[in-house]
Amino acid sequence: MTRAFEGKSVLVTGGGSGIGLETAALFAEQGATITICGRTLEKLDTGAAAIRARATDAVVQTIVADVTIEEQISAAVDFAAAPTGTLDVLFACAGGAMHMGNMVDADTAGVRATVDLNLIGSFLSLKHAARVMIPANSGSIVLMSSGAGAFPHRWLWAYGMSKAGVDSLCTYAAEELGDHNIRVNSVQPGIVDDELMQPITAGGALVEDYYEQMPIRRLGTVEDIASAVAFLASDSAGWITGVNLGIDGGHHLRRGADYSKLFS
């Protein structure tokens, strides 16, 4: 395997499981000094052990950090940059959905928490990564968005609007940080068969609705997303910035999934 990230430092938020962990492992296999952060030390330690099992010569660091708390994500960025003196890549993967359902009956606290985690957490991660990257006049940032941010998924609106904000953040940051040779892109995964989505991917009306809207009728894998993130972060994508990349088997060509099926 080409070691595209040899000698480079990479921070992955939400790196203890799922897409974040798979992407961190891929970066490590390609030579990166990798730091994973998340809110649970046990999950991070388990994830780090899994990375070391795949990339035995890798330098793997862990740090507990909540991306919605600025002091913590700032410290995580500094920690990730310490081994090499800079941060070459940020993959801001941390996110989640704390509200599903219609708007009229929405739990406002859950909506705010969803926006805080997905949008504000991405902003804070980007802000502090850019702070470290600007003096080096180099860097690549990849933000985790979602197909739900690009086209409506019924009853997933709180998550979707927060991810639409992430895509907008991406384009604004790409325009501004280009002055410093820092590229910013986002990925918009469709439905991925990981532990977070297992209650849906295991079967039922909602996953069948997904299948009906996908030209390539299969579930995504964490490897599908990780390989795209690694490409966008690599020198091979050195003239790509401000892109919101759908990785969804063509789902974006049809309509979004209907999450009201979870409640019927």
238 three-state secondary structure: coil
Sheet bearing 9-13, strands edge to edge: 59-64, 33-38, 9-13, 89-92, 139-144, 182-189, 244-247
Angle at CA of residue 23, ends 19 and 26, nearest 5°: 145
Positive or negative: CA dihedral 185, 191, 193, 196: positive
- For residues 49 and 52, what is the distance between their CA atoms, to the nearest angstrom? 5
Give DSSP secondary structure letters for 2-37. Answer: --TTTT-EEEEETTTSHHHHHHHHHHHHTT-EEEEE
Which of 45, 155, 163, 177 is closest to 106 using CA atoms?
155
Active site residue 159: yes
Q: At 187, list the tokens.
A: 């990925």
Give the pair of three-digit tokens for residue 49.
């052990």
What is d(CA 231, CA 237) in angstroms, rounded to the nearest whole number?
6
DSSP 168-214: HHHHHHHHHHGGGTEEEEEEEE--B-STTTHHHHTSSHHHHHHHHT-
Which listed residue (159, 172, 211, 259) is catalytic?
159
Q: Which residues are catalytic?
A: 159
